[in-house]
Chain A
Amino acid sequence: MISFELTEEQKLAQSMVQELAANTLRPAARDADDREAMPDSLLSEIWSTGIVQSQASTDSDAASSSATLNAILLEELAVADAAFAIAAAAPIGFLSAIAAQGSSAQKKNLLPLFGGDKYRCAGIAIMEPDFAFDVSSIRTTANKTRDGYRLSGIKGLVPLAGRCSHFLVVARCDGALDAFIVDRNAKGVTVGEKKMNIGLRALETATVSFNDVELSISARLGESAGCDVQRIIDSSRTAISAILTGISRGVMEFVIPYLKERVVHGAPLAQKQVIAFRLADMRIETDAMRWMTWKAASILEHGGDAIKQSQLAYTYNGEQAMWIADEGVQMMGGHGYLRDNPVEMWYRNARSLSVMEGAVGV
């Protein structure tokens, strides 16, 4: 039954995260980007919302039923800055994959580690540092050995890689894609130096190499049953869609006061149709982006086939967020280009996130 109704629980969580985003995260966003590091205090604040730990419930129903709520909350975090949203969405992606597709032993061993009261990270490693990388052309391999698998390959753009205790590595195994749980301290795992990119600079992304890492049979997600890697990708695309919605809303809400204040040729910019109409389009598109995301999340939540909807949302939102951030810079002119204002940062973030795959989840 078609409905846009938030539950009481969702409304409550939304307003709590909204407050955190506005009062604590937004004021700290620029500094984190400049310092190229995510302050522990902010990770604690994000952790304190409980958004990540709720994925760590060993009751699989509870974990798989929060995709829509996560989509709602990731948008709110991203209104402050996308890096914060990803700091939550990275471990959420890892945990929701374990909760939805892990064997009971994997759930029992891993999920409780994330139920504590301190920020803890684990990441999904899908992207590889190749030009024109695509999820359909993953080169990392897991070859069967007598006792398990031997993992070889390089993964790039892993958020907060240095803080991750585990990676869920997507690799080619017997011609098909499979996912493997790898302890960051396993022999052959090297977490590279943090690598600076155009955007999301607070995220401390790094390259992680897997050099003939020996894995036991129990490292394979789902163990003998295996897993559906596509579902991990769908969840990631949905999370990225939610964060792109938040970036777009952040830009739109930020430029409005400036446009109403700044007088050009005798009238505020906002009173000129060429500006006002672009603002209207921003509003149209952020609305549409949100519903596209909610629909994908809701299908995931109900266990349906979300391949198409998550792809449509990811593609649509990527295009719109880039357009909105681009126009946000343009509307503020020289001020938009200065690092005194956050729109140039969001412009960089929108470009970064919309080409990423698989680092996050709902």
Chain B
Amino acid sequence: MIDFELTEADKKVLAAAHEQALIGRRYAAYYDKHEDELPPEQFPEAKDHPSMVRVAEEGVIGSSGARILHTLVMLEGSWGGMSLQRSRWGLGNTVLETVATPEQIEKWKNYTISIAITEPSAGSDPANIRTTATFDRETDEWVLNGEKIFISQAQSADAAMVFSRFMAPDGTRGMTTFLVEKGTPGFTIGPQLKKLGIRGHDTCNLLFENCRLPEFNHIKGDFKSTMSVFNDSRPMVAATALGVARAALDFTREKLSERGIEIDYRSGARSRSAIADKFLRLEAIHEAALLTVMRSKWLEQQNVPPKVEASIAKAAGGKAARKITQGCIEILGPEALSEEHLLDRCFRDGRIFDIYEGAGEIQRLIIARSILGYTSRDLR
């Protein structure tokens, strides 16, 4: 039956997540100003605050479901801007789990594995990558050469799952993945990138110069299986975007209220102020995007793998974060620009979500192909 009410169990978990987010918000402000420092694996408060992500993932009796609850917990964490414990999971772990052999999984299951796809001339078009692995018959090793950019969890991960071209001894060529552990000779991690926002987010470039790897490190994720990890992550990124957006909305509502401006949902459009109207419309954008995220996650829970719905959620969430963080500053005016407050960080952080993990344009390509019945050749 159609229902949008959170259960008591949902509310309990989310209240705990919110409490942590309030603590996380202080750290987020610190790391926003200290972008070269890597946040610790966990903050001192983490010992009294179990990870709500883990609680949600493990399943809570009486909740709206593990996927939905997990997503809402992520939104809450993003509202704070920094979680009390660093995630041990990277998208490289998803590739490992999906395509690796049992022996490979056994070896690396406790690693945090980042995913390395983007290159200076291949971002939205990953088929264009130039990183190449050739096989050295003399030593029975793969030799990896190339550069990866904008890599999340670059320093904090134990290993990178590197998407690469390969040339096998028998001459076959294609796309594949290699697991490269931190410290492998020939693998260099660059300095933290200087970004508009999400400055507490570990992001570097990776360099592979004659990096030698045994065949055991060949994970054999092909193009399709590697890209499909984003199906799960897209609505999650949208939820993260909506956490930042909600932080901006909550702050704005509070400040408006302090100035005696309350949002009246009863009256019509022609009897409210421009400010109230603007706020209400931003709030509607948030709600609309959040519902597309819930829809995608609900489908996952029904074992219907979402594809177009995941892209809808990502596109809606990414756009919502842009509009809302920009709009809130417009509502509150010049004082909102100050770094003493929150909106400066929301505005900068909120701009990433329509760019990374599949830009809004890529989501629209996927959606358009789906509704038009086009292949990636028909619509480029």
Q: Do the two chains belong together in a single complex?
A: yes
Taking Cβ atoms with an 8 Å cutoff, the residues of A that contact B are 1-7, 10, 68, 132-137, 230, 233, 252, 256, 259-260, 270-271, 273, 276-277, 279-281, 283-285, 287-289, 291-292, 294-295, 297-299, 302, 304, 307-309, 311-313, 315-316, 319, 357
Interface of A is mostly: helix
Q: In the complex where A2-B3, A3-B3 touch, is A276 in contact with B364 (Cβ < 8 A)?
A: yes
Q: In the complex where A315-B284, A316-B284 touch, is A3 in contact with B267 (Cβ < 8 A)?
A: no
Q: Is the CB of B364 within 8 A of A280?
A: yes
- Could you tell me the distance between the alpha carbons of A315 and B278 in the complex, rounded to whole angstroms? 11
Chain B interface, number of residues (Cβ within 8 angstroms) = 50
Quick one: CB contact mask for B249-276 with A, threshold 8 Å, 1 for yes?
0000000000000000111111100000
- Could you tell me the distance between the alpha carbons of A309 and B266 in the complex, rounded to whole angstroms? 11
- Contacts between the two chains (Cβ within 8 Å), count: 152
Q: Is the CB of B292 within 8 A of A280?
A: no
Specify which chain B residues have a CB less than 8 angstroms from the CB of A2 in the assembled complex.
3-6, 10, 64-65, 68, 294, 298
Q: Is the CB of B265 within 8 A of A307?
A: yes
Interface-facing stretch out of B141-149, B161-169, B370-378: B370-378
Nearest Cβ on chain B to A72's Cβ, whole angstroms: 8
Q: Is the CB of A311 within 8 A of B265?
A: yes
Nearest Cβ on chain B to A275's Cβ, whole angstroms: 9
A-B contact pairs, 9 of them (CB 8 A): A2-B68, A135-B266, A135-B267, A137-B271, A270-B374, A284-B312, A302-B3, A304-B5, A315-B284
B289's nearest neighbour on chain A, judged by CB, is: A288
Specify which chain A residues have a CB less than 8 angstroms from the CB of B315 in the assembled complex.
280, 284
Q: Is the CB of B288 within 8 A of A289?
A: yes
Q: Is the CB of A276 within 8 A of B379?
A: yes
Nearest Cβ on chain A to B307's Cβ, whole angstroms: 13
Q: Is the CB of A256 within 8 A of B5?
A: no
Q: Is the CB of A135 within 8 A of B312?
A: no
B361: interface (CB < 8 Å): yes
Q: Is the CB of B361 within 8 A of A4?
A: no
Specify which chain B residues have a CB less than 8 angstroms from the CB of A68 in the assembled complex.
2
Q: Is the CB of B268 within 8 A of A134?
A: yes
- Could you tell me the distance between the alpha carbons of A288 and B289 in the complex, rounded to whole angstroms? 7
Q: Is the CB of A299 within 8 A of B4?
A: yes
Q: Is the CB of B284 within 8 A of A294?
A: no
Q: Is the CB of A277 within 8 A of B361?
A: yes
